[in-house]
Amino acid sequence: MTPEGVCPARFRVECADFARAADAGAAQYREDLMNSASAQTNFYRWIIVLCSFLILFVSNGITIAGITVFDLELLQALSDNAGREITLGELKVRDGLMFITSGVLGLAAGWLADRVGVKPLIIVGLALLALCNFAYSRVEALTDVYAIHVVFGLVLVLCGLMVNIYLISRWFDKHRGLAIGLVLAGTSLGNAAFPQLNAWLLSDASWQEAMQFLALIPLILLPVAIFVVKGSPEDARRAAGNIEPADQDLPGYTLGETLRSRNFYILCTLAFCTFYSILGMTAVTFVFLSVNDYPAQLAATGVTILFIGGLVGKIISGYLAEVLGHKQVLLVSLLLMLIGAIALVLAVAQGSEMFIWIGLIGFGFGWGGIYTLIQLLVADLFGLKALGKVLGVVNVVDTLGGALGPVVTAMLYDRTGSFLVSFGVITALLVIATSAAALLRMQDAACLQQAGQG
């Protein structure tokens, strides 16, 4: 190459042009690479939505609503083994143990999600779910059931609601409400589908054989969790060998700032009251319809109607929240759920079949909207900076409500011989939740603070 000091003028110009072209080409290459990575991320995040949908479909569908179809057969088998009658309230202690375990371990899971990501947690959770279902087929005593449901609580921590909301929140900023609504639809479809599947299995097999079949389903999802799920867009870019952006400070409030926020305690009140109501109602719907002389398949259909309403409510509310506002949609959802609860109280008091179906539909639509809005509000009100820890704290509160709901609802039925008091307590809690929601201050949301700084 000719040294610069002896290079002809024309050659020096060509050298400079070449250098500029090389710099421009490199810059364009980097820009094209970033644009390509962004396009891939925009597409892949919807793959993540599908993965989370399937994970919640299985984990929630099996552990929450699906298993209630086996209650009468399980009560009979446990009573025969114990030599005494096992009550519904005693059996439903299992649900309380499951949700207490989920709440206690939720803080640790939130910390782990912030530290190592959610993918390892999901893989372990699905494997444990398969083992628990197989172990269920061999239970002989009530203590065996309790032990399995403690592990079910760990399953809900590792591959349940909190972890999947964390995953979606990391992948989505725009359209987060729609994405969360679609993912949470997995809980409704799972809780609608598994009662039907389990009722069908019971028509041709024992409940033990049905449990062994259910153990295979989480194993089918394991390859999806291992090879498809990526914890964040940065993880996806690293896996694809693309350039990785510099670390950025995530927006939002710290855990300490969140705990000093009035919105945090309002959200916790909503979470406790609504999760008590949701899980208390879903835990006894099958039995409620069965003791009112509905056949098993029709009683399972009642559970399905409840969760199909939840499915529609989750998807619609996630979209409407972005269009009409979070608080407005939250209040409408709470009112629908409250109307449904009142209708079910009237159904018990008056023996009206019409109020049963009106109540289940209204309750389902309402809690579907609330379920989505509470998860969406955690990320939007408090941001991503300490999302795992904040979700963990909220998880403790809502699982406390979820733990008490099935147990207290069933015990009140055992003591009174009617669901009137049980459904009355649910109605009262929904009045409290609606009042609390009216006090929510959306102007303090982290997403609005971030937009204002931008």
Give the pLDDT score at 392. 84
Q: Which amino acid is at 41?
A: T
d(CA 344, CA 298): 17
CATH topology of domain 52-237+250-453: Growth Hormone; Chain: A; (1.20.1250)
Q: Quick check: 442 and 331 in contact, CB under 8 A?
A: no
Decide: residue 87, CB within 10 A, 0-12 exposed, 13-18 middle, 19+ buried.
middle
Q: Nearest-CA neighbor of 183 among 195, 199, 170?
A: 170
pLDDT (tens digit, 0 to 9) for every residue of the chain, 454 residues total? 444 444 455 545 454 554 454 444 444 544 443 444 566 778 889 999 999 999 999 999 999 889 989 998 999 999 999 999 998 889 988 988 888 888 888 888 888 888 888 999 999 999 999 999 999 999 999 999 999 999 999 999 999 988 999 999 889 887 888 898 889 888 878 887 898 899 999 989 999 999 999 999 999 999 999 999 998 888 777 766 665 554 556 777 888 888 888 999 999 999 999 999 998 998 888 888 888 777 777 787 888 788 778 778 888 888 888 888 889 999 999 999 999 999 999 988 887 788 888 999 999 889 888 888 888 888 888 887 888 888 888 888 887 888 789 889 988 998 998 899 999 999 999 999 999 999 988 877 765 555 444 4
Alpha-carbon distance values, 263 to 253, 321, 432, 442, 447 (Å): 12, 17, 15, 8, 14
Give the pLDDT score at 240. 65
- Helix, strand or coil, per DSSP, at residue 205: coil
Q: Which long-range contacts (CB under 8 A, 24 or more apart) does 377-380 make?
A: 377/267, 377/326, 377/330, 378/165, 378/267, 379/165, 379/169, 379/176, 379/447, 380/176, 380/326, 380/445, 380/446, 380/447
d(CA 5, CA 426): 88
CA 308 from centre of chain: 16
Q: Nearest-CA neighbor of 268 among 59, 11, 440, 83?
A: 440
Where do the H-state alpha helices sit in 61-160?
Answer: 71-82, 88-116, 119-136, 142-159
d(CA 341, CA 373): 19
Q: Quick check: 317 and 369 in contact, CB under 8 A?
A: yes
3-state helix, strand, coil in the chain (%, to 5): 85, 0, 15
d(CA 219, CA 123): 10
d(CA 99, CA 340): 24
Q: In the structure encoding, which two tokens stand for residue 52, read together?
A: 């989370």
d(CA 319, CA 181): 8
Give the pLDDT score at 393. 87
Q: Quick check: 254 and 386 in contact, CB under 8 A?
A: yes
Q: Quick check: 133 and 215 in contact, CB under 8 A?
A: yes
Give the pLDDT score at 447. 58
d(CA 27, CA 206): 66
Give the pLDDT score at 86. 92
Q: Nearest-CA neighbor of 442 among 321, 286, 315, 347?
A: 321
DSSP one-letter code for 173 = B
Q: How do the domains of the chain map onto residue ranges?
A: 52-237+250-453
Report CA torsion sign: 409, 92, 194, 374: positive
